[in-house]
């Protein structure tokens, strides 16, 4: 059994979107309006309050961060804490907000929306390096985990309520996606696929919200190859980090009405796999 250890001191209402960059782990606490940077060497955290629900954060190659939330996509100046508005593809949809997202291997920022009314009114968007925002896929209800294969030929994507992990052919040069297919239907599971990451062998590591687990799935064989259990039910997302990219960080959240001592904490474990370096926004 793989041992999981809580790290840091921050307790998230709903932690999400971890990403390893420059020797620290970035993640968000959606409902507390916070972006968190955790330094495992000093075991300290830096927090930024962005004043609205924030669904995802990624590093920017030029410095600073890019985040997406209730009212669109923003740059964040880490030194001042000031956010600069980039754009919002859904300005007239108050029941939607941005949720999970990541950068593709060419440095574009992909992020999707969630409909808080639980209707299929969300979409997946791409922020190009010229700051143009393009709709890429939809409709979806709760846009969630997104990641690319090592050779950048495949994009993997989750719309949580569908309980399906999808794959698309991906064109790195143009950002075009095609040949949509379902590679894993998790409908038999009482929990739902949420955030995900990928390892150096192109296996997907998927956190299951309401499931207290992270599952490793091999898209090549279409089989589950590993499972890590956690002491709290809302396991939301995961990312490899550490000096050798062998540490798997997992965010969690609080389940209303349930008292769990370690819920909302950031966890780390060593599952025996290695991640791949994350991509920063190139714009």
Annotated binding site for substrate: 97, 99
- CA–CA distance, 214 with 93 (Å, rounded to integer): 32
| CB-based contacts of 46, cutoff 8 Å, min separation 6 | 36, 37, 39, 78
Sign of CA dihedral 43, 49, 54, 56: negative
The dihedral of CA 23, 253, 216, 135: what is its sign?
A: negative
Residue of 194, 199, 247, 279 marked active site:
194
Which two tokens mark 61?
Answer: 């190659």
Nearest to 274, CA basis, from 252, 229, 250, 242: 242
Nearest Cα to 109, choosing from 97, 101, 117, 118?
A: 101
245: three-class secondary structure by DSSP: coil
- Catalytic residue flag (residue 189): no
**Rounded CA gap, 283 and 89, in Å?**
18
Q: Residues 235, 214: contact at Cβ < 8 Å?
A: yes
* Sheet architecture: strand order including 15-21: 15-21, 24-29, 34-39, 44-49
Cis peptide upstream of residue 139 (ω within 30 degrees of 0) = yes
Residues in the chain: 283
Q: How many CB atoms lie within 10 A of CB 256?
A: 7
Annotated binding residues for a divalent metal cation, written as ranges, equal 16, 144, 194
Of 101, 106, 135, 104, residue with least CA distance to 121: 135
Distance of CA 46 to the CA centre of its chain: 19
Which sequence positions are flagged as catalytic? 194
């Amino acid at each position: 059994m793989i041992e999981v250890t809580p790290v840091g001191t921050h307790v998230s209402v709903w932690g999400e979107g971890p990403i390893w960059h420059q020797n620290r782990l970035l993640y968000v606490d959606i409902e507390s309006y916070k972006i968190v940077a955790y330094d495992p060497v000093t075991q300290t955290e830096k927090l930024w309050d962005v004043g609205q629900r924030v669904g995802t954060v990624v590093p920017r190659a030029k410095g600073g961060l890019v985040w997406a939330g209730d009212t669109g996509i923003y740059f964040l100046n880490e030194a001042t804490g000031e956010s600069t508005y980039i754009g919002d593809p859904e300005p007239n949809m108050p029941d939607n907000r941005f949720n999970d997202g990541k950068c593709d291997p060419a440095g574009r920022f992909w992020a999707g929306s969630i409909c808080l009314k639980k209707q299929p009114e969300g979409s997946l968007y791409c922020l190009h390096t010229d700051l143009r925002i393009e709709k890429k896929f939809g409709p979806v209800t709760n846009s969630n985990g997104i990641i690319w294969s090592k050779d950048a030929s495949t994009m993997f994507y989750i719309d949580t309520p569908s309980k399906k992990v999808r794959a698309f052919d991906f064109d790195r040069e143009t950002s075009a996606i095609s040949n949509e297919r379902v590679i894993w239907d998790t409908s038999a599971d009482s929990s739902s696929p949420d955030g995900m990451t990928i390892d150096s062998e192109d296996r997907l590591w998927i956190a299951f919200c309401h499931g207290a687990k992270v599952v490793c799935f091999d898209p090549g064989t279409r089989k589950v190859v590993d499972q890590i259990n956690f002491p709290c039910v809302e396991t939301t997302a995961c990312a490899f980090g550490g000096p050798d990219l062998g540490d798997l960080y997992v965010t969690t959240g609080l389940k209303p009405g349930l008292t769990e001592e370690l819920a909302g904490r950031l966890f780390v474990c060593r599952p025996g796999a290695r991640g791949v370096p994350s991509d920063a926004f190139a714009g």
